[in-house]
Amino acid sequence: EPEVTQTPSHQVTQMGQEVILRCVPISNHLYFYWYRQILGQKVEFLVSFYNNEISEKSEIFDDQFSVERPDGSNFTLKIRSTKLEDSAMYFCASRVERGAYEQYFGPGTRLTVT
Partner 1 sequence: AQKVTQAQTEISVVEKEDVTLDCVYETRDTTYYLFWYKQPPSGELVFLIRRNSFDEQNEISGRYSWNFQKSTSSFNFTITASQVVDSAVYFCAGSNAGNMLTFGGGTRLMVKP
67 within 8 A of 104, measured Cβ to Cβ: no
Give the residue, chosen from 7, 44, 60, 76, that forms a contact with partner 1 under the rule CB under 8 A.
44
If one asks whether residue 56 binds partner 1 (CB under 8 A), the answer comes out as yes
Q: Which residues have a Cβ under 8 Å from the Cβ of 19 and sit 6 or more positions away?
A: 11, 13, 78, 79, 82, 111
CA angle 99, 105, 106 (to 5 degrees): 140
Overall residue count recorded for the chain in this entry? 114
- Cα Rg of the chain, angstroms: 13
CA angle 16, 108, 101 (to 5 degrees): 120
Query: Smaller CB distance to partner 1: residue 41 or 73?
Result: 41
Query: Smaller CB distance to partner 1: residue 1 or 85?
Result: 1
* Minimum distance of partner 1 from residue 48's CB (angstroms): 6
* Minimum distance of partner 1 from residue 112's CB (angstroms): 14
If one asks whether residue 108 binds partner 1 (CB under 8 A), the answer comes out as yes
Window of 12-20, 27-35, 67-75, 77-85 that interacts with partner 1 by CB under 8 A: 27-35
Q: Which parts of this chain interact with partner 1 (CB under 8 A)?
A: 31, 33, 35, 41-45, 48, 55-56, 58, 89, 91, 93, 100-108, 110
